[in-house]
Structure 1
Amino acid sequence: MIKFLVNCLVFVIDKLYKKRPYARFYVLETVARVPYFSFVSVLHLYETLGIWRKAEWLKVHFAQAWNEYHHLLIMESLGGNRRFIDRFLARFTALIYYWVIVFLYMLSPRHAYYFSQLVEEHAYHTYDNFLRRNARLLKQLPAPIVAINYYRDGDLYMFDEFQTSRRPFERRPVINNLYDVFVCIRDDEKEHVTTAIACQHPQAQTTFKSPHAAYIITLKASAADTQREAVG
């Protein structure tokens, strides 16, 4: 059922925007960030009701939404939202999608994360195909300022925080042209897939950590080992 819903969404977007990639990416990014809004909303609700408190999950999902938000800003800077019909379709779809994921997350977080995984996998392959087909042209075009500020010159704490398969500071993109920007976006989508898979792990409720939290734990453990060796 989940695959069917994702395939329907993908089919509609792909058919409508086959010849307009930036508009297609604008719609895709508007929709792609919605699950993280849904996750955070439900987690806040559960915290308010005293059901559970998952600060690490909130941090990571907010960082994911922040990342997708900048993808959206990049597509807007490229003119992807120029037409009213594209903005309307993207926002209307996002509104429905938000509530679908909210209820799905309340019923089964694992299935909600699987839904998100499928959407992000599609996004990854979409950008990868776009890069392979348009590499020469993209390398001749300048990178949008918003991309430079997010990936290179800005505060990269939030950029690190959604990549649960990596240590903080490990990934630092090079941005010289529009091709580099789309490489970053494609690779971001892969990181979202990895994080969605990690959230589906049976022990995730007790073991899941944000990258910075996991890094601090590692540093403390290393320092403790060093101290024991010095004492011994």
Structure 2
Amino acid sequence: MTSRMGGSILLRHLGGRLFSTTTTAVRSAATAEVANYFMYGGSAPAKGMAMWVRVFPVRMASTTASPAVSREDKATAAKDATGKDGAGTPPSAKKEIVSYWGIQPSKLVKEDGTEWKWSCFRPWDTYNSDVSIDLKKHHVPTTFLDKVAYWTVKALRIPVDIFFQRRHGHRVMMIETVAAVPGMVGGMLLHLRSLRRFDHSGGWIRALLEEAENERMHLMTFMEVVKPRWYERALVIAVQGVFFNAYFVGYLLSPKFAHRVVGYLEEEAIHSYNEFFKDLEAGKMENIPAPAIAIDYWRLPADATLKDVVTVVRADEAHHRDVNHFASDIHYRGMELKETPAPLEYH
């Protein structure tokens, strides 16, 4: 396409928007001369005339007054802003806040017909936790990597015990900020591996991401029970930054070792929730009513207490323990899961 043809198309489509029609006579003449050159093949514009041509937004270049607004338009705008003839309920009370993408959120209701008020999870994400799961299972470390993973977790528990003592609410809040990291990291890396190799994931991507989401809901629940102090928030940021990168590198080097570490972390989490439960039963901590978010997420009865919440969360941790120990005992061959000959050893 020649420069004249390109200039002709550009001026035809954008000329009315980019050039003001209310500029001075000199600038109008310059614009007309340039348009004549591009569109009709006239003589080249003079240097002095071409220098006047500039691209301005219409609002900036125009010298005309803004169009008048009628009384009816003003009344309509005032009614929309205030709710009713300039006085009434504010718009925030009349209009529902839309999502980030500008999509009107759908109206969800619970089984009893009341409105669903949680945005961090939906009714189809709720479930009844299996509290009959064995809480005493322990994977006996046999290989060298198993022993490294076991003693690494035991060493990490020492500073946590010193810092939190018997402040169980703050302790489990810190645990959940760490426990929600491995599932996301593992799911992300398996997702990328599936894309690179054009292979199926064997269902493990979804399983690990659901684990991360479940751990995050544990955190959202205990945020309603205890409020973290400023130094605890700072500690969370520091620990998450270190743990995420360490686990990321560890998973790249050895997924077996990474899953084994998580399995032992979950065993320690079960121990922490056992101590939490004992103090609640002994009356050392107040057995307050369960937060509303926990009642809806785990489908607990309306009169559920904090002890019921600890029970279902502990069962979730036991499930994650078994999943990660099993993941460590399998290996991938074309993303298809193959069990190792040696069975899981629990006692």
**TM bucket normalised to smaller:** 0.7 to 0.9
Contact 1:124 1:190 in 2 (8 A): yes
- What is the CA–CA distance in structure 2 between the aligned matches of 1:131 and 1:140, rounded to whole Å? 10
Residues of 2 paired with 1:192 and 1:86: CA distance? 25
Residue of structure 2 equivalent to 1:196 = 324
Q: Structure 1 regions of 5+ residues with no counterpart?
A: 154-172, 209-232
Q: Distance in 1 between matches of 2:198 and 2:241?
A: 26
What is the rounded CA distance, in whole Å, between the counterparts of 2:168 and 2:282 in structure 1? 16
CA distance in 2, matches of 1:27, 1:143: 20
Deviations for 1:24-70, whole angstroms, at most 9, x for unmatched residues?
11111101111112101211221332264415111111111111011
For 1:206 and 1:174, how far apart are their aligned partners in 2?
43
| Structure 1 residue corresponding to 2:242, chosen from 96, 106, 111 | 96
Q: Distance in 2 between matches of 1:80 and 1:187?
A: 24
Q: Distance in 1 between matches of 2:264 and 2:271?
A: 11
Preserved contact between residue 3 and residue 118 of structure 1 (Cα < 8 Å): yes
Aligned to 1:224: none
Q: Mean Cα displacement is larger for which, 10-19 or 178-187?
A: 10-19
* Structure 1 residue 106: Cα displacement: 1.4
Change (3 A) 1:136 1:7: closer
Partner of 2:336: 206
* Aligned counterpart, 1:108: 254
Q: Within 1, Cα distance between the matches of 2:311 and 2:205?
A: 27
Question: Which of 304, 308, 319 is the aligned partner of 1:180?
Answer: 308
Query: Could you list the per-position Cα deviations for residues 122-161 of structure 1 after superposition, in whole angstroms to 9, with x for gaps in the alignment?
Result: 00011012212222546842001111121017xxxxxxxx
Residue 64 (str. 1) matches residue 192 (str. 2): no
Residue in 2 aligned with 1:32? Answer: 179
Q: Which amino acid aligns with 2:305?
A: N
Match of 1:131 in 2: 277
8 Å contact 1:22–1:75 — kept in the other structure? yes
- Equivalent in the alignment of 2:197: 50
Structure 1 residues 198 and 3: alpha-carbon distance in aligned structure 2, compared to 1, 3 A threshold: closer
The alignment partner of 1:143 has SS state of: coil
> Which blocks of at least 5 consecutive residues in structure 2 are unaligned?
1-147, 339-347
The corresponding residue for 1:84 is 230
Whether the 8 Å contact between 1:24 and 1:80 is mirrored in structure 2 is no
In 2: Cα distance, 1:146 partner to 1:191 partner: 21
2-side partners of 1:151 and 1:61: how far apart? 19
Q: Which amino acid aligns with 1:77?
A: E
- Are 1:147 and 2:147 an aligned pair? no
RMSD value over aligned CA atoms?
Answer: 2.3
SS at match of 1:77: coil
2:343 aligns with none
Give, as a single letter, the amino acid of the residue that structure 1 aligns with 2:193.
Y
1:168-206 CA-to-partner distances (Å, cap 9, x unmatched) read xxxxx9971111000011111111111112212336763
Distance 1:188 1:52 in 2: 30
Alpha carbons of structure 1 residues 84 and 53: separation in structure 2 relative to 1, 3 Å: farther
Q: Deviations over 1:99-129 (max 9, x none)?
A: 1111111111111110000100000011012
Which one-letter code corresponds to 1:114 in the other structure? R
Amino acid at match of 1:189: E
Cα contact 2:188–2:205 (8 A) shared by 1: no
Inter-CA distance 58–175: structure 2 relative to 1 (3 Å threshold):
farther
Q: How many residues align?
A: 188
Percent identical pairs in the alignment equals 26
Greater shift in the superposed pair: 120-129 or 98-107: 98-107
Whose radius of gyration is greater, 1 or 2? 2
